[in-house]
């Protein structure tokens, strides 16, 4: 599996050079001149821990959460004061863990960010279904949150049991969502669970939109090697049939495909922290991406607080891109939106997409993966499936290895992928 990703990497980056992440960092981050910058904040706490979940999280306690947020606010000022004035940015996303558990301190975090940044495209935040009540939603709204994403996984008891989660209280969700309105209400589902059929997923999708969602994300189940999940992966053929059936169903209902995994019934709804040219991340495990580098913070909550308290950034690893590596990175994440605009590539890199990747694009068209229209490459259904398939490889070869190490070591010496 990693053989395929290595070969593709060598082909597309025109180099044998692997991605090397090192235990070194810049204390001053090069974000001031970045165009199209997004913000991300990680809150690593959950009331109960799901055994299939790869994210950086620890059991919630109010005291631990409070001291973490004190450090987070310090990190925001440490980084934000590196540039004068307030920098215009796109969106801000809170991910986790379960950031809604910190609802009472959200305003403080957003106020700290507002001292250094002007957020122009709204604020998104993740919730567990247990957090969806009128009081919490009102607190989020008052703090400035405009988009919410709820981790449903499935409305069916059968699949919640497989995932080790409890039944979702749909009536409570409907009521709270009707009373407190957000521009985007997204719901997360997991598909390709053992025995899961198209009918099961169709029921989930219909239920989501009927309860008040205007956006859904349907993630394929990924069996990370470092999690203790006993759930078996679905065979490729079955998975493809399921993904194609879900996609066709959503398109037939008039929902628009916003990314490989997301659909929406409302043009104004959007929820994606990934498809941004540059981003600045705060908190444990948060990543930042700039033109020349990618960096990731330590996963360890205590080490994070120690570093920040001593006035230094909590970066665990930095990858310094070769220009070609950065192009591959850009293409991979832009393709996540199912379309790549040649003008955007040229604007970002100063060279033409055709000149850089002419043969690869020709091949992708010949294989029926993309259509081209006025310099915009749109993924076909087949292309979307193979991207999804490749993305799972990527996740298992790169993210699995990196997160697996970072969960055990606060500051590993280096990781070569």
Ligand X SMILES: C[S@@+](CC[C@H](N)C(=O)[O-])C[C@H]1O[C@@H](n2cnc3c(N)ncnc32)[C@H](O)[C@@H]1O
- Contact status: 57 vs ligand SF4 (CB under 6 A): yes
Give the per-residue contact string, 169-198, with ligand SF4 (x = CB under 6 A; - = no): ------------------------------
Q: Please state, in angstroms and rounded to a whole number, the distance separating the CA atoms of residues 184 and 121.
A: 12
Q: Please state, in angstroms and rounded to a whole number, the distance separating the CA atoms of residues 130 and 47.
A: 10
Residue 177 or 190 with smaller CB distance to ligand X: 190
DSSP labels, 165-192: -PPP-HHHHHHHHHHS--SEEEEEEEE-
Taking CB within 5 to 8 Å according to partner kind, which of ligand X, ligand SF4, none is near residue 399?
Answer: none
Q: Please state, in angstroms and rounded to a whole number, the distance separating the CA atoms of residues 207 and 400.
A: 32
Taking CB within 5 to 8 Å according to partner kind, which of ligand SF4, ligand X, none is near residue 190?
Answer: ligand X
Per-state percent for the chain, helix, strand, coil, to nearest 5: 45, 20, 35
Q: How far is CA 108 from CA 104, 204, 288, in A?
A: 9, 36, 22
Residue 12 or 64 with smaller CB distance to ligand SF4: 64
Residue 95 or 383 with smaller CB distance to ligand X: 95
- Contact status: 282 vs ligand X (CB under 6 A): no
Taking CB within 5 to 8 Å according to partner kind, which of ligand X, ligand SF4, none is near residue 49?
Answer: ligand SF4
Taking CB within 5 to 8 Å according to partner kind, which of ligand SF4, ligand X, none is near residue 219?
Answer: ligand X
- Contact status: 411 vs ligand X (CB under 6 A): no
The distance from CA 400 to its chain's CA centroid, rounded to whole angstroms, is 15
Taking CB within 5 to 8 Å according to partner kind, which of ligand SF4, ligand X, none is near residue 367?
Answer: none
- Contact status: 96 vs ligand X (CB under 6 A): yes
- Contact status: 207 vs ligand X (CB under 6 A): no
Give the per-residue contact string, 170-189, with ligand X (x = CB under 6 A; - = no): ------------------x-
Which among 6-14, 28-36, 43-51, 255-263 is the span making contact with ligand SF4, rule CB under 6 A?
43-51
Pairing of strands 339-341, 376-379: antiparallel
Q: How far is CA 215 from CA 178, 212, 398, in A?
A: 15, 9, 28
DSSP one-letter code for 35: S
Which among 95-103, 270-278, 311-319, 334-342 is the span making contact with ligand SF4, rule CB under 6 A?
95-103
Grouping H, G, I as helix, E, B as strand and the rest as coil, residue 126 is strand
Q: Please state, in angstroms and rounded to a whole number, the distance separating the CA atoms of residues 79 and 76.
A: 5
- Contact status: 389 vs ligand X (CB under 6 A): no
User: Which among 191, 188, 190, 193 is positioned nearest to 231, based on CA atoms?
Assistant: 193
- Contact status: 124 vs ligand X (CB under 6 A): no
Q: Please state, in angstroms and rounded to a whole number, the distance separating the CA atoms of residues 128 and 102.
A: 12
- Contact status: 52 vs ligand X (CB under 6 A): yes
Q: Which of 190, 234, 280, 406 binds ligand X (CB under 6 A)?
A: 190
Q: Please state, in angstroms and rounded to a whole number, the distance separating the CA atoms of residues 290 and 333.
A: 13
Asked if residue 284 lies in contact with residue 75, where contact means CB atoms within 8 angstroms, the answer is no
- Contact status: 224 vs ligand SF4 (CB under 6 A): no
Q: Which two tokens stand for residue 168?
A: 């979702």
- Give residues 102-131 in contact with ligand SF4 (rule: CB under 6 A): 128
Q: Which two tokens stand for residue 55?
A: 């994210």
Taking CB within 5 to 8 Å according to partner kind, which of ligand X, ligand SF4, none is near residue 142?
Answer: none
Asked if residue 148 lies in contact with residue 98, where contact means CB atoms within 8 angstroms, the answer is no
Taking CB within 5 to 8 Å according to partner kind, which of ligand SF4, ligand X, none is near residue 336?
Answer: none
- Contact status: 53 vs ligand X (CB under 6 A): yes
DSSP one-letter code for 340: E
Q: What are phi and psi of 255, to 5 degrees?
A: -80, 145
Q: How far is CA 299 from CA 29, 356, 387, in A?
A: 19, 36, 28
- Contact status: 50 vs ligand SF4 (CB under 6 A): yes
Q: Which of 38, 80, 96, 122 binds ligand SF4 (CB under 6 A)?
A: 96
Residue 96 or 212 with smaller CB distance to ligand SF4: 96
Total residues contacting ligand X (rule CB under 6 A)?
18
- Contact status: 97 vs ligand SF4 (CB under 6 A): yes
Complete edge-to-edge strand list for the sheet that includes strand 370-373: 339-341, 376-379, 370-373
User: For binding to ligand X (CB under 6 A), which residues are involved?
Assistant: 46, 52-55, 95-96, 98, 126, 128, 151, 153, 188, 190, 219, 221-222, 224
User: For binding to ligand SF4 (CB under 6 A), which residues are involved?
Assistant: 46, 49-50, 53, 55, 57, 96-98, 128, 151
């Amino acid at each position: 599996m990693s053989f395929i990703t290595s070969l593709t990497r060598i082909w597309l980056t025109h180099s044998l050079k692997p991605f090397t992440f090192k235990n070194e960092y810049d204390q001053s981050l090069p974000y001031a001149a970045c165009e199209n910058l997004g913000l991300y904040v990680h809150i690593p706490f959950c009331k109960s821990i799901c055994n299939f979940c790869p994210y950086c999280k620890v059991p919630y306690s109010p005291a631990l959460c409070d001291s973490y947020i004190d450090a987070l606010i310090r990190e925001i000022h440490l980084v934000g004061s590196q540039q004068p004035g307030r920098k215009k940015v796109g969106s801000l996303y809170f991910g986790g863990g379960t950031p809604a558990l910190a609802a009472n301190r959200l305003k403080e975090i957003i106020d700290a960010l507002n001292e250094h940044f002007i957020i122009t495209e709204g604020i998104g935040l993740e919730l567990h279904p247990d957090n969806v009540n009128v009081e919490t939603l009102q607190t989020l709204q008052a703090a400035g949150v405009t988009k919410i994403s709820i981790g449903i996984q499935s409305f069916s008891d059968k699949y919640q049991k497989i995932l080790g989660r409890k039944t979702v209280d749909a009536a409570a969700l409907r009521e709270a969502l009707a009373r407190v309105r957000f521009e985007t209400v997204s719901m997360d589902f997991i598909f390709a669970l053992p025995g899961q059929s198209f009918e099961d997923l169709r029921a989930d999708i219909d239920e989501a939109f009927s309860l008040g969602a205007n956006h859904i994300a349907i993630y394929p189940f990924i069996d990370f090697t470092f999690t203790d999940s006993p759930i078996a992966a679905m065979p490729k053929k079955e998975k493809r049939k399921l993904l194609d059936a879900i996609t066709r169903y959503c398109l037939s209902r008039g929902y628009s495909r916003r990314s490989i995994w997301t659909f929406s019934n409302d043009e104004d709804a959007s929820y994606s922290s990934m498809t941004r040219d540059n981003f600045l991340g705060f908190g444990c495990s948060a990543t930042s991406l700039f033109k020349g580098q990618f960096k990731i913070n330590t996963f360890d909550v205590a080490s994070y607080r120690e570093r920040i308290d001593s006035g230094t950034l909590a970066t665990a690893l930095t990858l310094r891109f070769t220009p070609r590596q950065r192009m591959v990175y850009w293409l991979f994440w832009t393709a996540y939106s199912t379309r790549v605009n040649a003008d955007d590539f040229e604007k970002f890199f100063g060279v033409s997409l055709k000149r850089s990747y002419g043969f690869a694009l020709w091949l992708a068209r010949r294989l029926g993966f993309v259509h081209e229209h006025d310099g915009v490459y749109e993924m076909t259904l087949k292309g979307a499936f193979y991207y999804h398939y490749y993305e799972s490889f990527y996740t298992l070869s790169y993210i699995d290895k990196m997160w697996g190490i970072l969960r055990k070591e606060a500051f590993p010496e280096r990781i070569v992928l």
